[in-house]
Amino acid sequence: MSLLEVKNLVVEFPNRRGTLRALDDISFAIAPGEILGVVGESGAGKSLTGAAIIGLLEPPGRVAGGQILLEGQRVDNLPYEQMRHIRGRKIGAIFQDPLTSLNPLYSIGRQLTETIQTHLPVSYEEARKRAIGLLEDTGIPAAAERIDHYPHQFSGGMRQRVVIALALAAEPKLIVADEPTTALDVSIQAQIITLLKRICKDRGAAVMLITHDMGVIAETCDRVAVMYAGRIAEIGPVHEVINQPAHPYTEGLMAAIPDITVDRERLNQIDGAMPRLNAIPAGCAYNPRCTKTFDRCKVDRPDLMAAGATRAACWLHESGGVR
C-alpha cells in the first residue's frame, strides 16, 4: 500500500478578480522507502504541492478539491491542532534555507529535545540522548559538545544537517524536502544527498524531494514527476524520464540542461516562458511553446496517460502509440 496518496489535488488562491488555480488535478503516490522527485521551473507548483501535503498552505491558498491520504487516512481536511501532531510526528519537513528553519535564539539541543518531547513520551534525559544520536547520525562531528551550540555557530552544510536531524526527530514516515541542497555548495550538496539517501534506506522513510536540479534527481530518486503550470506533465521511473522522455516539455527541458559529460555547441532552447496562472491557455498548457502541437492540443486538456515506460499528459500518446 502507498504511504502517501494524493488524489486529484486542486489548490486555489481566491482574490478580488477571481480565483487562480495554482495546482490543477495533481495525483501521485509514494510507497514506503521510496524517493519521489518533483521537478519543474519556478512557478510550476512544486513547492505548493509540498506545502499542501504538510498542511502549511499560506492563506488565502486553500485545498479546493481532491484528497491527500497518509497511510490511508485523509489529512487534508484535519483541524489545525490535529494536523500539528501529524506534522513532525508522521511528516518531517526540510526547507531550502537552513538558517531560517532554525530558531537563532535557542541552542540546537533545545530545539531538538523540544521537538522530540512534543511528539514522543520520553523524559528530558532520554530526549537529549536521542538528540545526540540524531546529530551523530547526520554526520555532525563531536555531537555531544556541539549540541549546546547555537545555529550561527554552524556552517551552512552543518546547519542543513541539523535541520535534517530535526525533521527526523520524531521518526516520521514521510519526509518532504523542498530544495534541501539549493543553498549549498556542490561538495556539501553531495554530502547532504548521500545522507538523505542513507537515512531513507536505514529508516524506511519515504521522501518527496522537490528540486529544480535534474542532476540531483537523477542521483537520488526512484521516480520523478515533472510539473508544468500547476499540473504533472510526466511521471515515471527516473531513468526512463531522463533518457526517453515522453512529454515534449520533458524532452525540451532535458536538452536545455548543459551536461557535464557531453559537449554541445548550442543548447536546445524552449522559446517563451511558462504562462502566468491567470493566463493559462486552453487545452494543454504547454501548447504555445510546443513544437509538436496539433489541433486537439489547443482544445482538450490531456490527462496523464501511459506513454512507454512513463505516464505523460500529452495527446501524442493517446491510445498508447506515438502519432
Partner 1 sequence: MSNSRAFVQAHDLAKTFDVSVPWLNRVIERRPRQLLNAVDGVSFEIEKGKTLALVGESGCGKSTVARLLVGLYEPTRGGLTFDGQDAHAAFKTPEGRKLRRRIQMIFQDPYASLNPRWIVEDIVGEPLKEHGIITDSAQLKQRVGELLKSVGLSPLDMVKYPHQFSGGQRQRISIARALATEPEFLVCDEPTSALDVSVQAQVLNIMKDLQQKQGLTYLFISHNLAVVRHVSDEVGVMYLGRLVELAPKQALFATPQHPYTRMLLDAIPKMHDTGRQRTPVSGEVPNPLNPPTGCTFHPRCQHANDRCKSQRPQLLELRGVKIACHAVEEGRI
Binding site for partner 1 (CB under 8 A): 41-42, 155, 157-158, 185-191, 193-194, 212-216, 218-220, 238-239, 242-243, 252-254, 256-264, 266-271, 273
DSSP H helices, the chain, are 46-54, 80-89, 108-119, 124-137, 143-146, 156-168, 186-203, 214-220, 238-243, 248-256
Please identify which residue in the block is written with the cell numbers 544520536: 133
Nearer residue to partner 1 within complex by CB, 152 or 264: 264
Buried-state track 54-86, b at ≥16 Cβ within 10 A, e below 16: bbebeeebebbebebbbeeeebbebeeeebeeb
CB of 218 to partner 1, least distance (A): 5
Distances (CA, A) of 252 to 159, 243, 290: 36, 12, 9
CB of 153 to partner 1, least distance (A): 12
Nearer residue to partner 1 within complex by CB, 19 or 293: 293
CB of 100 to partner 1, least distance (A): 17
CB of 193 to partner 1, least distance (A): 7
Nearer residue to partner 1 within complex by CB, 1 or 260: 260
Q: Which uninterrupted H or E stretch holds 24?
A: strand 18-30
* Backbone dihedral angles phi then psi of residue 150, each to the nearest 5 degrees: -100, 160
Nearer residue to partner 1 within complex by CB, 259 or 303: 259
Q: Is 277 exposed, middle or buried (0-12, 13-18, 19+ CB in 10 A)?
A: middle
Q: Which of 92, 82, 139, 95 is nearest to 116 (CA)?
A: 92
Nearer residue to partner 1 within complex by CB, 239 or 296: 239
Q: Which of 41, 76, 68 is nearest to 233 (CA)?
A: 41
CB of 170 to partner 1, least distance (A): 28
Helix, strand and coil in the chain, % to nearest 5: 35, 25, 40
SS3 assignment, position 168: helix
Nearer residue to partner 1 within complex by CB, 147 or 270: 270
CB of 147 to partner 1, least distance (A): 19
Nearer residue to partner 1 within complex by CB, 117 or 287: 287
CB of 37 to partner 1, least distance (A): 11
CB of 24 to partner 1, least distance (A): 20
298, 282 in Cβ contact below 8 A?
A: yes
Nearer residue to partner 1 within complex by CB, 173 or 289: 289
